[in-house]
Amino acid sequence: MQAAAEVQNVSAQEEAITMICPFCSGYTPAVWNSFATNQDELGRIGNLFQQLPSVQLPTAPAVLHLQVQVQWSRCQNEQCREYIVRVARIVTGKTPPESETWFAVPKHKAPPAIDLTLVPAPMREDYLQAYVILDDAPRMSAVLSRRILSDLLKKYDNANNFGTAARIDKFANNSQHPSRLRDNLHYLREIADFGAHTQVAKATVETDTIPSDVCWEDVIINASKEEAEWTLKVVGDLFDYFIIAPEKDKLLRAEFDKKIEAAGRKKLSPAV
């Protein structure tokens, strides 16, 4: 009987939706468990999670129901195995209902698992800082990410153009770069450019014309968390393309050169 239950539990985990572990950034089953006990506002311990009492707000005609849940999960990656705790807050009785979920442990999720040791210190520090503030300040996170993006294109793509938008255009128009990266940068520029022009339009409601020279560097853009997180992903992909992958290939070729030399064979010349 116990064996059957264990098999059923494993099967359920295999069918579960995966998530990214906030500790190691690896994929793990999204299996969440509620804590077994509940403590009310007077410190009394209950056996099960209960919905908190309904709250009648003075200015609201309807009763609002507030529910708070605390759940835990454990990362299944062998190199991690950390316990994760999340909090869910749900308010019903209004249209639309309100809900939000956040991690209590860890407080901030880790950046994707890429080898940042090869990335220059200023860019690496800005990248990590952008991840730390992603949940609490997505707009400032996006500002840091765009600064890294601009510096990356200037240093590694020889884009000495004045503006970040022009540097992105140079990269996106170069067919020698991977199409996936070019498309992502093109969309990133378009979304940011749209946001900039939208803010200018709101700020100049007295006129129907928007200055043609306004670009997304001229205003602080209200980036959503999803947009800020995607910007960080694009920056991480460029880290790998410009810095990490070439350096790893270089080290691997150096090892092959040693084996070729030890075998008495002629050293390979770089491809033209």
pLDDT higher than threshold 60 for residue 149: yes
9: how many CB neighbours lie within 10 A of its CB? 11
Identify residue 27 by its one-letter amino acid code: Y
Percent of the chain exceeding pLDDT 90 equals 20
Residue that is last in its domain, among 46, 79, 105 = 105
Following CA atoms 29, 19, 104, 222 in sequence, which dihedral angle do they give, to the nearest 10 degrees?
Answer: -170
**Residue 135 covered by a domain:** yes
pTM (predicted TM-score):
0.61
184 and 238 together in one domain? yes
CA-to-CA dists, residue 121 to 28, 128, 133, angstroms: 30, 11, 18
**The predicted structure's pLDDT at residue 272:** 62
83: how many CB neighbours lie within 10 A of its CB? 11
Q: What residues does 67 pair with on adjacent strands?
A: 90
How many independent structural domains does the chain possess? 2
**Residue 215, domain extent:** 116-258
144 and 234 together in one domain? yes
125 and 214 together in one domain? yes
- CATH code: domain of residue 252: 1.20.120
Average pLDDT over residues 30-43: 69
185 and 70 together in one domain? no
134 and 250 together in one domain? yes
pLDDT higher than threshold 70 for residue 266: yes
Pick the more confident residue, 3 or 254: 254
**Residue 10 covered by a domain:** no
CA-to-CA dists, residue 177 to 82, 105, 167, 271, angstroms: 38, 39, 14, 18
Residue that is last in its domain, among 51, 79, 105 = 105
123 and 249 together in one domain? yes
Q: What is the pLDDT of residues 64-90, one digit of tens each?
A: 778 888 888 999 998 889 999 988 888
100 and 214 together in one domain? no
**Residue 175 covered by a domain:** yes
125 and 246 together in one domain? yes
Highest mean pLDDT pick, 18-27, 204-213, 225-234: 225-234
122 and 100 together in one domain? no
31 and 65 together in one domain? yes
123 and 72 together in one domain? no
